[in-house]
């Protein structure tokens, strides 16, 4: 050890102070470092392949320092680019891997955009020298598709975190070995919802020596938990395999992962009892086993996991009572129990849950709790869905003054203390009281929750008032009555935030008022199934952010002449089951995906302007008075043929499909055309059968004529076809047997002729599908096809049959003339011979016809 005298120490101290002063002076010198040209070039190449409709990269100008560009971070000393973060910037186009030429890049995040492909630089220029890249995130680019992951071999071994979640990797079957081979030192690997199918369940060891986090949730593994999972790094602390169709039992080898802090296995098909030995995982903080097929009792040992902050368990096969040892988990913040448990819960089940913030009990629990009980917790979220909470709203919930979300749907509630209840929920951001039997008058109520779902109850009176901060309100399927004018035309003095309004399936009456200027933030509007009348007022055109408008099943009338073309976000309009008349509305935005105009009084031709809606995937003009022919331009609707990208919106709506009205939730999954029950005439344009992605086609109950073109066989996604009650003729083309997904077929009451084609799918339909076509024959009709109605087939096959018949007739004639001379001379012989010949001819005819039909079937089946 070196010691200094006090004088020497003072000198050393002076030197240090001087050095620090000089260092600060140097550091504080205002030296502006420009972006290195080696970094600028690949960044500009990347920008060139990007579609930036929102102008997020406006700062990426060649005249500006690239270190000042949006998302770019440079080292203060060297000026070299070290980070590129363009998360959620609404970018589209392609990702140019020229970014991998940025030598000192350590962090690259392009997640939550709309990229569709990777561009690999030419081999001559692809000199990757990414010795520092540690973090790569391309997740949530849902249209990005990789056939394989070999490009990852270009990334350096320094890579520690890789996130490709929500990228399509369904064709990559060797992903596990690829990852382990090129990047064994990964600390974090996230491949959630990638469409992966191969989990290599029988591989016993994978070379992930440092892995701490593994997220493979939301794939399609459909296997048992793999062996290799329990032999990865002993330091791993986070595993997420939820939403994977995993089967079998949880193996005890899970105990090998002693440092495990988070285990998520929810939404699988795991069976057997929940293991008691899970209580030995002392470090577990997050255990989520919900939505599986576990059976047996709820293990009391889970109450030993004193470190748990989150516990989720649910299964429809669990039995017995919920153990009250749950009440000992003092660190628990989130508790989710669901499934088939139906025990009675008391204060003991919650006695030491001091830190509980989220309580979700979605099972048939009953409650034996003192009305004066004050819980040890203050909840942020509570869901008692599907419990036996009712009939009266419980008093202990009123003690929860920090609630942000309350869900008591399907909980058998029928009464509330109106004065106390509405002032209580006014402070809660989101409430869901749906599917109960609550009977209360809303006339004098003011709703203040941002999200209020009151649907499917017995609420009565007029529509309530709402505060300006309410964003979503659903009061569908109640007993509300009176006009909607006071609700819509009330001015609060503040701009309304309302974006979602559903007041459908009530008894509201009167006209739709002309005061929509107060609701410009509306994006979803459902006012169908009421008693509204009159015309839709012109101020509705001011809803320029609207996505869905549903006026279905009212008494609305008049000519719909509104100009909706400026509603750039509108994708769904339902005017069905009203009394609108005149011309089919055409002033629609290009964003339109679904137009339902069924059951009105529209009496024009089908306007060709509808063919110019590039996003249209569902068009229902049925049950009107339309005339003229079907425009051939319908084939120009590229979305009906699957060529255009469609946005998905999930809400429930009714669709007349496969002969009956059914409910659907996702409009982006269906491609339908229904022109039935009109006065349309002429032939069906051949171009219509080029819409190969169409799922539903209904042209029934019109005056259409002509033949079904052979081209129909190309509509291989068709599930429902109805051409009934027209004047169509000719044979049913054999190509219709190519429609292997067809589950509904109606060709009845036309003028089709010939034999019904054979086909695996066609044989599943009964005679009802063909009735009313007297010239049709063959199964499933009772009418057999005679020798004059041959099976529909190729011209060559028909010619061969005709040659066969002619040859047989010729041979018969020659034989007859061979004995004619002797018969002609002797009258008695002649009389007896002809009597015998009549019997032989009848027998021979039957034999020949049967043989010919058998021969035709053999030839048809051999083709």
Q: Which pLDDT does position 179 carry in this prediction?
A: 87
Separation of alpha carbons 674 and 598, rounded Å:
9
Most confident listed range (267-271, 341-345, 661-665): 267-271
Exposure of 509 by Cβ count < 10 A (0-12 exposed, 13-18 middle, 19+ buried)? middle
CA distance 472 to 447: 11
Task: Please tell me which residue, 812 or 422, carries the higher pLDDT value.
Answer: 422
Average pLDDT over residues 630-642: 73
Lowest-confidence segment of 10-24, 248-262, 417-431, 738-752 by average pLDDT: 10-24
578-596 average pLDDT score: 93
When pLDDT is averaged across residues 572-601 and rounded to a whole number, the result is 94
Is 697 strand, coil or helix?
A: strand
pLDDT interval class at 206 (50, 70, 90): confident
> Distance (Å, rounded) from C-alpha 575 to C-alpha 591?
17
What is the homologous superfamily of the domain 271-402 according to CATH? Answer: Ribonuclease Inhibitor (3.80.10.10)
Give the torsion through C-alpha atoms of 496, 499, 505, 511, to 10 deg.
50
* Per-residue confidence band for 640, with pLDDT thresholds at 50, 70 and 90: low
Residues sharing a CB contact under 8 Å with residue 343, sequence separation 6 or more, in sequence order: 320, 321, 322, 365, 366
pLDDT value of position 635 = 74
For residues 282-301, give the mean pLDDT. 94
Q: Quick one: pLDDT at residue 810?
A: 44
- Three-class DSSP labels, 101-160: HCCCCCEEECCCCEEEEEECCCCCCCCCCCCCCCEEECCCCCCCECCCCHHHHHCCCCCC
Instruction: Give the model's pLDDT for residue 646.
Output: 52
Write down how long the chain is. 863
Res 801: pLDDT? 43
pLDDT of residue 204: 86
pLDDT of 581 > 80? The answer is yes
Superfamily of domain 547-779: Ribonuclease Inhibitor (3.80.10.10)
Domain ranges of the chain: 271-402, 547-779, 797-862
Q: What is the mean pLDDT of residues 522-546?
A: 95
Two tokens, residue 415: 């009464």
Question: What's the distance, Cα to Cα, between the start and end of the chain in Å?
Answer: 99
Two tokens, residue 772: 């009313």
How high does pLDDT run on average in the chain? 84
Residue 795 has pLDDT above 90, yes or no: no
Cβ contact 196:169 at 8 Å:
yes
**How far is Cα of residue 832 from the mean position of the Cα atoms in its chain?**
81
State the pLDDT confidence band at 180, using cuts at 50, 70 and 90. Answer: confident
Stretch among 220-224, 552-556, 656-660, 779-783 having the lowest mean pLDDT: 656-660
DSSP 840-862: HHHHHHHHHHHHHHHHHHHHHHH
Closest CA to 520 of 485, 496, 538, 502: 496
pLDDT of 525 strictly over 80: yes
pLDDT at 299 exceeding the cut of 70: yes
- pLDDT, position 207: 84
Confidence of residue 209 (pLDDT cuts 50, 70, 90): confident
Q: What is the pLDDT of residue 518?
A: 87
Instruction: Work out the average pLDDT over 731-759.
Output: 93
Of all residues in the chain, the percent with pLDDT exceeding 70 is 82
Give the per-residue pLDDT at 21. Answer: 38
Mean pLDDT along residues 511-535: 94
The CA distance from 470 to 446, in Å, is 11
Given a cut of 50, whether residue 28 has pLDDT beyond it is no
More confident residue, 656 or 451: 451
What's the rounded mean pLDDT across residues 104-118?
A: 94
* 363, 341 contact by CB (below 8 A): yes
pLDDT at 630 (0 to 100): 94
Angle between helices 795-818 and 827-862 (to 10 degrees): 160
Is residue 803 over pLDDT 50? no
Q: What is the DSSP letter of 350?
A: G
Q: What is the pLDDT of residues 812-829, one digit of tens each?
A: 433 433 443 443 444 443
Q: Is 568 exposed, middle or buried (0-12, 13-18, 19+ CB in 10 A)?
A: exposed
Is residue 576 within 8 A of residue 620, CB to CB? The reply is yes
Contacts of 376 (CB under 8 A, 6+ apart): 350, 351, 352, 353, 354, 356
pLDDT of residue 820: 37
Contact 780, 845 (CB under 8 A): no
Res. 797: pLDDT tops 50: no
Instruction: Please give the pLDDT value at position 106.
Output: 94
**H/E element, 627:** strand 627-628
pLDDT digits (tens, 9 = 90+) for 460-503: 999 999 999 999 999 999 999 999 999 999 877 788 899 999 99
Q: pLDDT by residue (tens digit) across 615-630?
A: 888 899 999 999 999 9
Helices (H) and strands (E) in the chain, counts: 8, 52
Which band of pLDDT confidence, cut at 50, 70 and 90, is reported for residue 10? very low
Q: Is the per-residue pLDDT at 542 higher than 70?
A: yes
- 692: Cβ–Cβ under 8 A, 6 or more apart, which residues? 641, 642, 714, 715, 716, 717
Name, in order, each residue with C-beta under 8 angstroms of 788's C-beta and a sequence gap of 6 or more: none
Which tens digit of pLDDT belongs to each residue from 219-268? 999 899 999 998 887 789 999 999 999 999 999 999 999 899 999 999 99
CA pair distance 462, 570, nearest whole angstrom = 29
Q: How many CB atoms lie within 10 A of CB 47?
A: 17
pLDDT value, residue 653 = 59
pLDDT of residue 128: 54
Query: Average pLDDT, stretch 108-116?
Result: 96
Contact 335, 326 (CB under 8 A): yes
Task: Summarize the confidence of residues 331-340 as an average pLDDT.
Answer: 95
pLDDT at res. 18: 37
Q: What would the mean pLDDT of 422-431 be, rounded to a whole number?
A: 96
pLDDT of 843 higher than 90: no
Instruction: Render pLDDT for 47-75 as a digit per residue (tens, 0 to 9).
Output: 999 999 999 999 998 777 899 999 999 99
pLDDT on residue 390: 85
pLDDT at 844 over 80: no
Q: Any idea which of 33-37, 329-333, 347-351 has the lowest mean pLDDT?
A: 33-37
Please say if the pLDDT value at position 794 is more than 90.
Answer: no
> Does the pLDDT at position 834 exceed 50?
no
């Amino acid at each position: 050890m070196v010691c200094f005298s006090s004088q020497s120490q003072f000198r050393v101290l002076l030197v240090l102070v001087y050095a620090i002063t000089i260092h600060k002076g140097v550091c504080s010198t205002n030296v502006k470092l420009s972006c290195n040209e080696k970094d600028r070039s690949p960044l500009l190449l990347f920008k060139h392949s990007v579609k930036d409709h929102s102008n997020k990269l406006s700062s990426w100008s060649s005249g500006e320092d690239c270190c000042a560009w949006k998302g770019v971070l440079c080292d203060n000393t060297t000026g070299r680019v070290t980070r590129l973060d363009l998360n959620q910037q609404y970018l589209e186009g392609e990702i140019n891997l020229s970014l991998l030429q940025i030598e000192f890049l350590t962090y690259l995040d392009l997640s939550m955009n709309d990229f569709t492909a990777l561009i690999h630089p030419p081999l001559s220029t692809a000199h990757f020298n990414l010795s520092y890249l540690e973090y790569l995130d391309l997740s949530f680019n849902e249209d990005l598709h990789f056939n394989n992951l070999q490009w990852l071999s270009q990334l350096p071994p320094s890579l520690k975190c890789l996130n490709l979640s929500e990228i399509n990797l369904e064709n990559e079957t060797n992903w596990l070995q690829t990852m382990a081979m090129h990047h064994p030192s990964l600390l974090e690997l996230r491949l959630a919802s990638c469409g992966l199918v191969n989990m290599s369940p029988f591989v016993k060891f994978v070379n992930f020596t440092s892995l701490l986090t593994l997220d493979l949730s939301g794939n399609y593994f459909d296997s048992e938990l793999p062996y290799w999972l329990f032999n990865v790094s002993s330091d791993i602390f986070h595993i997420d395999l939820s939403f994977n169709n995993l089967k079998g039992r949880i193996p005890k080898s899970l105990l090998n992962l002693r440092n495990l802090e988070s285990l998520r296995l929810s939404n699988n098909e795991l069976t057997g009892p929940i293991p008691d030995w899970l209580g030995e995982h002392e470090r577990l903080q997050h255990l989520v086993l919900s939505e599986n097929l576990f059976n047996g009792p709820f293990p009391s040992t889970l109450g030993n996991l004193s470190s748990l902050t989150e516990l989720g368990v649910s299964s429809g096969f669990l039995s017995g009572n919920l153990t009250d040892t749950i009440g000992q988990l003092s660190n628990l913040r989130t508790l989710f129990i669901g499934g088939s448990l139906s025990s009675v819960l008391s204060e003991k089940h919650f006695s030491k849950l001091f830190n509980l913030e989220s309580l979700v009990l979605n099972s048939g629990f009953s409650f034996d709790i003192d009305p004066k009980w004050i819980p040890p917790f203050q909840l942020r979220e509570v869901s008692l869905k599907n419990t036996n909470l009712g009939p009266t709203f419980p008093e202990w919930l009123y003690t929860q003054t920090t609630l942000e979300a309350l869900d008591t749907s399907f909980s058998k509630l029928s009464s509330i203390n109106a004065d106390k209840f509405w002032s209580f929920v006014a402070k809660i951001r989101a409430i869901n009281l749906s599917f109960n039997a609550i009977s209360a008058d809303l006339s004098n109520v003011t709703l203040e929750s941002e999200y209020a779902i009151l649907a499917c109850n017995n609420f009565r009176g007029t529509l309530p008032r709402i505060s300006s901060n309410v964003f979503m309100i659903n009061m569908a399927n109640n007993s509300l009555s009176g006009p909607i004018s006071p609700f819509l035309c009330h001015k609060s003095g503040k701009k309304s935030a309302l974006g979602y309004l559903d007041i459908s399936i009530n008894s509201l009456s009167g006209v739709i008022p002309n005061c929509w200027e107060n609701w410009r933030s509306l994006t979803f509007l459902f006012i169908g199934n009421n008693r509204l009348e009159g015309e839709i007022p012109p101020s509705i055109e001011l809803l320029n952010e609207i996505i869905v408008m549903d006026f279905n099943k009212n008494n609305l009338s008049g000519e719909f002449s509104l100009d909706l073309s400026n509603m750039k976000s509108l994708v769904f309009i339902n005017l069905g089951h009203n009394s609108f008349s005149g011309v089919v509305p055409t002033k629609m935005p290009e964003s339109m995906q679904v137009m339902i105009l069924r059951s009105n009084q529209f009496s024009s031709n089908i306007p060709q302007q509808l063919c110019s809606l590039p996003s249209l995937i569902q068009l229902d003009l049925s049950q009107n008075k339309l005339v003229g022919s079907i425009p051939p331009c319908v084939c120009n609707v590229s979305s009906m043929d699957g060529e255009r990208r469609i946005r998905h919106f999930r809400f429930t709506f009714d669709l007349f499909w496969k002969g009956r009205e059914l409910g659907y939730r996702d409009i982006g999954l269906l491609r339908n055309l229904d022109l039935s029950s009109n006065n349309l005439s002429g032939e069906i344009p051949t171009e219509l059968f080029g819409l190969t992605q169409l799922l539903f086609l209904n042209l029934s109950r019109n005056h259409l004529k002509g033949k079904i073109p052979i081209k129909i066989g190309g509509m291989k996604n068709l599930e429902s076809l109805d051409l009934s009650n027209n004047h169509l003729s000719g044979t049913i083309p054999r190509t219709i047997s190519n429609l292997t997904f067809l589950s509904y077929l109606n060709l009845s009451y036309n003028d089709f002729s010939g034999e019904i084609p054979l086909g695996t799918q066609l044989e599943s339909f009964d005679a009802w599908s063909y009735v009313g076509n007297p010239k049709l024959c063959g199964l499933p009709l009772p009418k057999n096809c005679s020798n004059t109605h041959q099976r529909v087939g190729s011209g060559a096959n028909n010619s061969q049959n005709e040659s066969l018949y002619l040859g047989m007739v010729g041979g018969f004639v020659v034989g007859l003339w061979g004995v004619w001379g002797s018969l002609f001379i002797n009258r008695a012989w002649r009389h007896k011979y002809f009597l015998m010949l009549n019997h032989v001819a009848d027998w021979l005819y039957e034999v020949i016809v049967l043989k010919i039909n058998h021969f035709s079937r053999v030839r048809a089946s051999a083709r």
